[in-house]
Structure 1
Amino acid sequence: MASSSDSWMREFSEASRLADDISAMIAERGSFPPSGSDTQRHTSAIRRKITILATRLDSLENLLSKLPKLQPISDKELHKKQDMLSNLRSKSKQMASTLNMSNFANREDLLGQSKKAADEINRIAGLDNHGVVGLQRQIMREQDDGLEKLEETVLSTKHIALAVNEELDLHTRLIDNLDQHVEVTDSRLQRMQKRLAILNKRTKGGCSCMCLLLSVVAIVILAAIVWALIKYL
């Protein structure tokens, strides 16, 4: 019959392999485009595996705290297992930080929820392997629901942005048309001003000639009257 220590080591080995898979997926993410559905699915898969890894680490920590009560174990072996678990948790936090999962203990911040690490341990306390798997599936479903809500929010924001963009395009076209009408009106006004200036000059010139002509006629008439007076008086 396998001892509790052997069972702990088997679960730790599975968690280590899962951490290696996550590391490989993070390295593979560099081959994906910066955005797109494939990139989102790949990132979501990494996040789910990180969550599963966190659950397994919590389970290992819980089992390790109960291990001295289940079987005799030396302090040296217990400290060794604690160091192994601490190193793997540090690696997990580093991978989570790579995906901007800044607080790995509060990994459910992805869904807008915040819980302490002690609460996570209480969730898996007393669960067997089947129960832990069920909890992992529940967490994955919760994350899928959260991602679906996030996708709906993003799509709604996208539609609003498109509508605003269309409205801005319409206003831009209206302003351009107004500018064109203003330019045409200004050009016509300048032409009319030039024509009025020319007409004004011509009118002034014509008035001067007429006045001169009338003056000459008046002088001639006056001279004729004076000559007639001198002749008949």
Structure 2
Amino acid sequence: MAYSADSWMKEYNEAAKLADDIGGMISEHDKLVSTGPENQRHASSIRRKITILGTRLDSLQSVLTKMPSNRPISEKEMNRRRDMLSNLRTKKDQMASALNMSNSRNRDSLLGPDAKPADAMSRTVGLDNRGIVGLQRQIMKG
């Protein structure tokens, strides 16, 4: 697909709008109850949109690297667009990290404070099925 300078900006603006939508969804996600299927669906939707945003940014980057052969825009404008893409990519990475951090908080709340997988495993050594179920209930009760 041949991109003009205007169509590149249109695609960029759509990607920026998607990034804003994702930011709003992450804010909503932080307000939801930390467990349950609705929260999982919401997180999955956010991850999907972050992936779509990453794909769009890769496409815009690819088009931008091919534009100089046509020379439709100045070098100053080319640098501005590279900076815009870089900033949006950084924002996407920060949102992905924020989502992963909220998911790890949920995991921590299930395992208990500062519980490490190795610690949890060592607590189950020597337990039969009944003992493991009892330990699970104890952890869940808090």
CA distance in 2, matches of 1:71, 1:87: 24
**Native 8 Å contact 1:22 1:46 kept in 2:** yes
TM-score by length of 2: 0.69
**Native 8 Å contact 1:19 1:92 kept in 2:** yes
Q: What are the ranges of 5 or more consecutive residues in structure 1 without an aligned counterpart?
A: 102-160, 171-233
The equivalent of 1:27 in structure 2 is 27
The structural deviation recorded for 1:168 is 2.3
Percent of matched pairs sharing the same residue: 55
C-alpha RMSD of the superposition? 2.6
User: Deviations 1:48-86 (Å, cap 9, x if unpaired)?
Assistant: 000000000000000000011134321110001011111
With over 3 angstroms needed to count, the CA separation of the structure-2 counterparts of 1:48 and 1:166, relative to structure 1, is same
1:1-233, aligned counterparts within 5 Å? Answer: 4-100=4-100, 167-168=130-131
With over 3 angstroms needed to count, the CA separation of the structure-2 counterparts of 1:74 and 1:31, relative to structure 1, is same
User: Deviations 1:194-216 (Å, cap 9, x if unpaired)?
Assistant: xxxxxxxxxxxxxxxxxxxxxxx
Between structure 1 and structure 2, the one with the greater Rg is 1
User: Deviations 1:164-213 (Å, cap 9, x if unpaired)?
Assistant: 7752289xxxxxxxxxxxxxxxxxxxxxxxxxxxxxxxxxxxxxxxxxxx
Structure 1 runs of 4+ aligned residues shifted over 6 Å read none
Greater RCO, CA 8 A, separation 6+? 2
Q: What are the ranges of 5 or more consecutive residues in structure 2 without an aligned counterpart?
A: 102-123, 134-142
Would you say how many aligned residue pairs link Structure 1 and Structure 2? Answer: 109
CA distance in 2, matches of 1:3, 1:34: 43
User: Deviations 1:64-117 (Å, cap 9, x if unpaired)?
Assistant: 00011134321110001011111101111110111228xxxxxxxxxxxxxxxx
TM-score by length of 1: 0.43
Match of 2:100, SS state, is coil
1:44 aligned partner, one-letter code: S
**Native 8 Å contact 1:4 1:71 kept in 2:** no
Match of 1:99, SS state, is helix
CA distance in 1, matches of 2:55, 2:23: 17
CA distance in 2, matches of 1:40, 1:165: 31
CA distance in 2, matches of 1:57, 1:86: 9
